[in-house]
Structure formats: C-alpha cells, structure tokens
A and B are shown apart, each in its own frame.
Chain A
Amino acid sequence: MYDHQTRSLWSHITGEALQGPLKGKQLTLLSSVPQIAWKTWQQNYPDTQVLSVPTAGGTLEGLSRDTYADYHASQRTGVSGTEYTDNRLPNKSLVIGVQLQAKAGNTQFRAYPITHFTETAVINDTLGDVPLLIFHDKMSFATTVFKRVAEDRSLTFKHETDYFARDNSGTEWNLITGEATSGKYNRTRLERVPAVNIYWFAWARYYPQTTIYGQ
C-alpha cells in the first residue's frame, strides 16, 4: 500500500511503513471479523452499513464470483515468484493468524490451521499469558477470536450449536458478537482480538517467530 500524503510504502500484513518518509511507523492493528457469511453478520448486526460501489447501471454491494478462485485452488504463492521455505506447514494451508501483546512485552504470534476446526468449532488456548477463544465455522469460514476472560476470571468454552458456546459457569455466549446471552455473565462482552484468515506462507514470511497451534 502507499499513502497519498507521503507516498510511503506500507505492508498490508504488518501495517508497518517499509520505505519512504514514514519508514518505521506502525499503524495500529484493530480487531474485526475477517470473514463471515453476509446473513450471519446481518443477523447479529442488523443496523450494519454495507459498502456500495457506484457503477454505470446502479450500485454494487457484491459480486457473484470470486475473481481469485483459480488462485485459491492452485498451489501458487502470490504473484512475485518468491520461494517460501518454512515447511512446518504446506505453503497454501489456511491458518488463522493471531498476535497479542504479552504482559512481559514481547508480541506473541500463533497460527491456528483451520484443519483443527473439523471436529469442533471452538479452541480454548493460551497465548503468552492470555487465555484465548478461537471460533471458526468450517462451512461458512466465519472466524472470531476473543480473550476468554470475564470479570477477571478465565473461562473455558464448549461449542453448542451454530455460533453459540457455553462456558464452565453455564453462561451461553454468542461467538459472533462475543456477548453472553444468558446465565451468570449475561450481557457481558468478551474483548475481541485481532485475527486474520491467511495462507501459511504469507503469515510465516512476515512473522517467522510464529508458533503453530498443536505443534
């Protein structure tokens, strides 16, 4: 990416300026839902505004096909011909990439291969010293990551149905919004954590220090 003001070049993976007047500056990473089916997002955020692009014939909010479908189905790794050498996972493995600032100071990186989500949609993990909840729906590719902490207590979650889970206090939680829907912590909201759905080769190239869940 480049910015119009200084024409510095920025990595859209790390958010760091790599060349130009702003070299070394770091954009703040924000939390989002990196992928979700439209109907699921709309159910949970009915007041959402939807990006709409003007065209000659009206406006477009979506397209019916993925212009990169062939790329995703291939073994190609980007368009630059770069070779990738971190063989801990196959290059085109899809992972959920999570990064967190640990209390000790160092940022922690972990990749969660989506193959771990075939049996369950929920993983309870701890990264650095932070208890984490990773949700991934294998059908819709919906991905959300939260700190599994409410009122300073660490909770353990078990998937129920769809995008709902129950913790060890009996509280039921919506894993799209991160809000408790009943029980002891009703209406409490979990803190969302930055996450990306990304190919292993890219994640490992930018963050070679990453650990891999399950390895």
Chain B
Amino acid sequence: MKNYMPILILLLATISCATAEEQQDYSNDEIRTLLPYDAIPAITDPQFVPASAAKLEADAPVIGVNLNDESHAYSLYLLNGHEIVNDVVGGLNIATTW
C-alpha cells in the first residue's frame, strides 16, 4: 500500500464548500479560492476518549468508522469546524472528511 498519503474516506458531503486553496498558486484554472489554507483547521493529531466518557447527546449525529475491528466516532457538528481528521483506524492511515 502506498503510505505517503492518507487514504480518504469520503463521508458525508452535504456541504459543498470551504476547501482551502490559494488563488495565487492556480490562478489560471477553474479552481476558485474562497478561503486561505487552514482557515478551517484540519485535525492532524486527533485525541479520543472511550465511549463511556464521551459527552454526546443520544441523538447527536456522528460519522462511524469500523476498520479491522477498531472503531472511531466523530461528531458531525464538531467536524463542521474542521472538516478533515487525519487518523489511523485498524492500522490504516485515513482521512475522515465532512
């Protein structure tokens, strides 16, 4: 497996906005710049708590990932402010995106 880049999990993408690009790099193409790099800070060193310690409402929407019998949950409302989590689940390098 190529490990120099994370594997992408394409998850819930109900919002088509706010990826960070720099206009000066690519001003002649079709990619439009709306926000500078890292205006929406991705999580690069994610921290976790066990389910029993999580402060979440019962009906709070989450993304659930289960890979090689390891599972992680990510609150969607929390991800509104980050959009990307660089994570390792079940030994796989993944990006959980929202």
Chain A contact residues, CB within 8 Å of chain B: 1-5, 7, 9-10, 12-15, 18-19, 22, 25, 27-30, 32-39, 41-42, 45-54, 59-68, 71-72, 77-80, 94, 140-141, 177, 194, 196-199, 201-202, 205
Query: Chain B residues near A41 (CB, 8 Å)?
Result: 62, 64, 73
Residues of A close to B15: CB separation below 8 A: 68, 71, 78
Q: Does A61 lie within 8 Å of B58, measured CB to CB?
A: no
Return chain B residues, CB-CB under 8 Å to A49: 48-51, 70-73
Q: Which residues on the A side are within 8 Å of B63 (C-beta)?
A: 32-36
B84 touches A1 (CB 8 A): yes
A residues less than 8 Å from B64 (CB atoms): 32-33, 36, 41, 45, 48
**CB <8 Å contact, A37 and B72:** no
With a cutoff of 8 Å between Cβ atoms, the chain B residues found around residue A19 in the complex are 25-26, 29, 31
**Cα of A27 to Cα of B97 in the assembled complex, Å:** 12
Q: CA–CA, A194 to B13, complex, Å? A: 13
Contacts of A51 in B (CB 8 A): 43, 46-48, 72-75, 78, 85
A1 vs B57: C-alpha distance when bound (angstroms): 30
Q: From residue A6, how far is it (CB to closest CB) to chain B in Å?
A: 9
Q: How large is the interface on B (under 10, 10 to 19, 20 to 34, 35 or more residues)?
A: 35 or more
CB distance from A191 to the nearest CB of B (A): 13
B47 touches A53 (CB 8 A): yes
A15 to B13, CA, bound (A): 12
Most B CB contacts (10 A, CB to CB) among A25, A29, A41 go to A41
User: Once the chains are docked, how many angstroms separate the CA of A25 from the CA of B55?
Assistant: 38
A32 to B73, CA, bound (A): 10
Query: How many angstroms from the CA of A33 to the CA of B46 in the assembled complex?
Result: 19
B17 to chain A, nearest CB (A): 4
- Supposing A30-B9, A37-B61 touch, asked if A45 and B17 sit within 8 A by C-beta, the answer is no
Q: Please state if B48 and A52 are interface contacts (CB–CB under 8 Å).
A: yes
Q: Which of B13, B17, B92 has the most CB of A within 10 A?
A: B13
* A30-B19 contact, Cβ under 8 Å, with A12-B97, A50-B54: no
Taking a contact as CB atoms under 8 Å apart, the answer to whether A38 and B59 are in contact is: yes
Nearest CB on A from B44, distance (A)? 8
